[in-house]
Amino acid sequence: MSDLLSRLRGALIVSVQADDGSPMRDTGIIAAMSRAALLGGARGLRLRSPEDIRAVRALTDVPLIGLTKQAQPGSPVYITATPAEVRAVAQAGADIVAFDGTDLPRPYPVADLIAEAHACGALAMADISTLAEARAAYAAGADIVGTTMSGYTPHSPQQSGPDVELMRALGGSGLPFIAEGRLNTPELAAQALATGAHAVVVGSAITRPDHVTRWFAQALGAASDRSS
């Protein structure tokens, strides 16, 4: 395992992203939230877009996982789907380039994205949704995989909580992995680490106040429906 990945052993990595249309989608806000996450104990950050990566790279030396989110013609894959996007993310200062590593139809093979990341001097993280996709990504040369895409491909379990079963399967297989996706409480994050994850990514619960507000509003709505 590379030194950079070794630095992330047991780490909380905070994903600091804002959705298109969100009032938080502003590089200054992303930089401020990144600083807050570092103050709170994040040892790595996961960021979307070369602009955000460049701004946060200027603030910190912690490992940065970078990606783009870009619709691709004729393909449902949107996380860093082309070698050009891999290059843009690496050149902006990401240490690790995350890309879609699922079986979904894609414009470029996973191996091309990994080769481009390595040519740029970055590590390659495959965002997968099944154990088989993790094995295929490692066979293609990925440095690490993340459970990011479970629940977001039609062939993975659709559930509101994290895919702990996939994490257990990866832990049991001995393949190194980063746990990611719907780890919305400190307890769930700790449970994910206990499955054998190398590190844990938490996003929405820390950096998407619009999502967190919706969780509370829906809970109150459900409670008042029950009492009426």
Ligand X SMILES: CC(=O)N[C@H](C=O)[C@@H](O)[C@H](O)[C@H](O)COP(=O)(O)O
Report the interface residues with ligand X, using CB under 6 A: 15, 17, 67, 148-149, 152, 180-183, 201-204
Q: Are strands 123-127 and 199-202 parallel, antiparallel or unpaired?
A: unpaired
Q: Of 186 and 223, which CB lies nearer to ligand X in the complex structure?
A: 186
Taking the complex as a whole, the smallest distance from the CB of residue 203 to ligand X amounts, in Å, to 3
Q: What are phi and psi of 33, to 5 degrees?
A: -65, -35
Q: Report in angstroms how near the CB of residue 228 gets to ligand X at its nearest.
A: 32
CB-based closest residue to ligand X: 203
Closer to ligand X by Cβ: residue 90 or 224: 90
**32 or 223: CB nearest ligand X:** 32
Q: Which among 77, 59, 61 is positioned nearest to 69, based on CA atoms?
A: 77
Residue closer to ligand X (CB basis): 218 or 223: 218
Q: How far is the CB of 65 from ligand X (least distance, A)?
A: 8
Three-state secondary structure call for residue 76: coil
| Surface-to-core class of residue 43, CB atoms within 10 Å of its CB (0-12 exposed, 13-18 middle, 19+ buried) | middle
Count CA atoms within 13 Å of residue 173 on its CB side.
Answer: 17
